Every structure is written in C-alpha cells, then in structure tokens.
Amino acid sequence: MHHTTVALIELGAIFFGLGVLGRVAWKIGISPIPFYLLGGLAFGSGGLIPLEGIDEFTTLASEIGVILLLLLLGLEYSAAELVTGMRRSWVAGLLDIVLNAAPGAVVAIMLGWGPVGALAMAGVTYISSSGIIAKVLGDLGRLGNRETPVILSILVFEDLAMAIYLPILTAVLAGATLLGGLTAIGISLVVVTLVLVLALRFGRYVSALVDSPDPEVFLLRVLGAALLVAGVAQQLQVSAAVGAFLLGIAISGSTAENATRMLEPLRDLFAAMFFVVFGLNTDPATIPPVLGAAVLLAVVTTATKFATGWWAAKRQGIARMGRARTGAALVARGEFSIVIAGLAVGANAVDPQLAALSTAYVLVMAIFGPLAARLVEPAMRLASTRLRRTATA
C-alpha cells in the first residue's frame, strides 16, 4: 500500500477515534485529555498497534496545538485584567508556587533526576488546568459564585508565572550556563513587562493589524501572526508557547472575541493531536514503575492545591463552603503539565521516565479534579451534619 494512503488511513482513524473518545468523556462529565493520552499510549511505542509513517505530520501538528492552546489562553485576558489579577492574587500566587511546585521537585530529586528534572516536575505539579476548571465551573453553574473571581485570579497568576517559567526551563534544557539562565530570566521579565505595557496603551493597534471583516482573511492573519511570533520567540530562546500567549494578551476587545470563536475548533483539533503525540512517544511499559510516585504526588498536590484555594478564599472573607469549592476547583491538572513534560523530554535533557510519571499523574488528576469539584459540596454538607449530630449527642 502506498505511503500516503497508509498515512491518510491512520490519520483518519486517529481523528475519528478522538471524536468518539471526546464524546464519551463529556458524556460522563470529565475532561477528554486522559482519553487522548490513553489513545496515544495504545498506538504508540510499545502499544497495541504502533502507527508508522505519520511522525512528521503529528509532530508539527502537536507543536501547533501548544501554540494555539497558549494563544487562546492569552486571548481570554486583557492586559488590564492581568494587572488587576496580579494585584489581587500575588500573595496567594506565591503560596501556590511554594506548596504545589515543591512536591514535584522533591520527587524528581528522590528519583535521581537532578536539578533539571526537578525544575520540570515542579512545573508539572504546580500549574492547574484552566481549560478543565473553566469547563467544570460552567457545567456546575458556578461562574457567578462569589469565590469564582478568587479562582480566576489564581489562574491568571499561574498563567503569568508560566510566561516567566517556560523561557527559564527552555534555557536550562538547552544547557545554558548560569549567566545564560540569568539572561533568560531577564529577557522573559522584560518581554512580559513590555508586552503588558504595549497591550495596555497600544492594544487597539495590534488588534487592528490582524482584524478584518472577512472571516477567511481574519483567520489567516491571526493564525499566521501566531505562528510567526511563536517561531521568532523560539529563535530568541523565549519559547514559542510564551510568544503565542503574549500575542493573545496584546489582542483585545471584539477582535479577541472573534479570534477565540474562530480558533477554538482548530485549537481543540491540534491540542488533541498534541496529547495523542505525547502518548505515542511514551512507552506504556514505563508507567507501572512510576505509578506509585504518581499516586503519591496526586494525593499530596490535591491537598496542597486545596489548601491554596481555601486560604485565598478565606482572605477574601468567603464562607467555608466557598473556600472548599475554591480549593476543589483548582485541583485539576492537564494540558500545561503535559506541555512542560513534552518540552523537557523532547530536549533529551531529563530522564525519559519523566514522561511516564507526568502521563500517569495527569491521567489521575484530570479525572479526579472534576470529580472533586462536583463532590466537595455534598462532602462538606455530610461533614457538617455529622459534626452537628456529634455536638448534639
């Protein structure tokens, strides 16, 4: 059979299969990310039926998926919202970093993966999944709740932290010296600050540059600008994902709303390919040896993320039930944890088992996170009822 024919059949089967898996996931009320990862594990290296001949396409598609994920994340926020969120949540944001980055770093060091592996795993366990969290809040009708701005402000802080963290990680993975690492930090801080200032004062000009009344022209401009900025950013060692995120911040108003609406289907398609490719490149046989560490990390970081949300909500004067909902909502990890692990493993600078640990960890957290958000209210009510009965007795 001709190579192109085989590739078309395999890609068609992958896309159709992803559609079926996504439908099943939303039917049972969880994120499709674990299903995409499992699909990749099943058909990748060491899987049931290894796929061949589509590596070039899937690799590029997964890169585009990361770029679109970060671009649309940036489109969700205006520069003013980011600045306001930073002012409101910086203390909780710093606590979030300390409590949730430390477990990943400690486990990596215990496994002998060194400082680079520790830096990568710190990011994997730190960042919550804003995509899963937003979906869960919408499904549960909590977008108007008093605690929701607290949740969103912490997510904003995490996204900005990623804009600084990713260039540092990229520089370290590339083997930069101490001076090079400090230079990366300086460049990332300057770039983020510059983009925020430009977006605040001149965002309308950036929006006008990509805007168009014609949908086809508009889509080509936005997508072309995102890929161009991502490529230039990667060449400057700032990270393609961060470049796309910063472009998203700079686009505002109705232009950002239109871009989000038009790019969402493309993002979902290419992001699904990203998760599949990550699974394809992970040998299922490497997961059992790190499964215990993944479960341990899941337990610890569920507690630390819950504590972060509880404390942040308490500072805003929110009642106990709202604090519990805040903590539970932040538990889910997903797309960005895999992005970080993909960068680390792709650079061949860390132990390959980091991919297996990250996959197992995200599988657990992407499933348990939405369940925790749904079950926290009944659990709190049950606990309160038992306490009242105990006090009465």
pLDDT at 184 over 70: no
As to burial, measured by CB atoms within 10 angstroms (0-12 exposed, 13-18 middle, 19+ buried), residue 263 is buried
pLDDT at 234 over 90: no
Average pLDDT over residues 184-213: 75
DSSP secondary structure letter of residue 330: T
- Say what the pLDDT of residue 182 is: 66
How many CA atoms does the CB half-sphere of 40 hold within 13 Å? Answer: 28
Place 282 in a pLDDT band, splitting at 50, 70 and 90: confident
| Domain 3-12+33-384: top CATH class | mainly alpha
| Helix residue spans in the chain (DSSP H) | 3-27, 33-43, 55-75, 79-110, 114-126, 130-139, 148-173, 178-210, 215-235, 240-250, 253-280, 288-315, 320-329, 335-346, 353-392
Q: How many angstroms separate the most distant Cα atoms in the chain?
A: 78
**DSSP E strand stretches across the chain:** none
- Say what the pLDDT of residue 256 is: 86
Q: Which of 132-141, 143-152, 188-197, 360-369 has the lowest mean pLDDT?
A: 188-197
DSSP secondary structure letter of residue 145: S
Annotate 21-52 with DSSP letters as a single string.
Answer: HHHHHHHTTS-SHHHHHHHHHHHSTTSSS---
pLDDT at 199 over 80: no
Q: Does residue 108 contact residue 354 with C-beta atoms inside 8 Å?
A: yes
Average pLDDT, the chain: 83
- Say what the pLDDT of residue 327 is: 94
Q: Does residue 131 contact residue 370 with C-beta atoms inside 8 Å?
A: no
Domain regions of the chain by residue span: 3-12+33-384
Compute the chain's Rg from CA coordinates: 21
- The 10s digit of each residue's pLDDT in 110-163 is 999 999 899 999 999 999 987 788 778 877 888 778 888 888 788 878 877 887
pTM score: 0.79
- The 10s digit of each residue's pLDDT in 241-263 is 777 877 887 887 888 889 989 99
Angle of the 253-280 helix axis to the 55-75 helix axis, nearest 10: 140
Percent pLDDT > 90 in the chain is: 21
Token pair, residue 58, equals: 């899937």
Nearest partner of 126 among 150, 170, 152, 161, judged by Cα: 161
Residues 6+ positions from 252 with CB-CB distance below 8 Å: 78, 79, 199, 203, 204, 206, 207
pLDDT at 228 over 80: yes
Size of the chain in residues: 393
- Say what the pLDDT of residue 270 is: 86
- Say what the pLDDT of residue 49 is: 67
Place 82 in a pLDDT band, splitting at 50, 70 and 90: low
- Say what the pLDDT of residue 304 is: 97
Q: Which of 102-116, 145-159, 192-206, 292-306 has the lowest mean pLDDT?
A: 192-206
**Residue 386 identity (one-letter amino acid):** R
pLDDT at 47 over 80: no
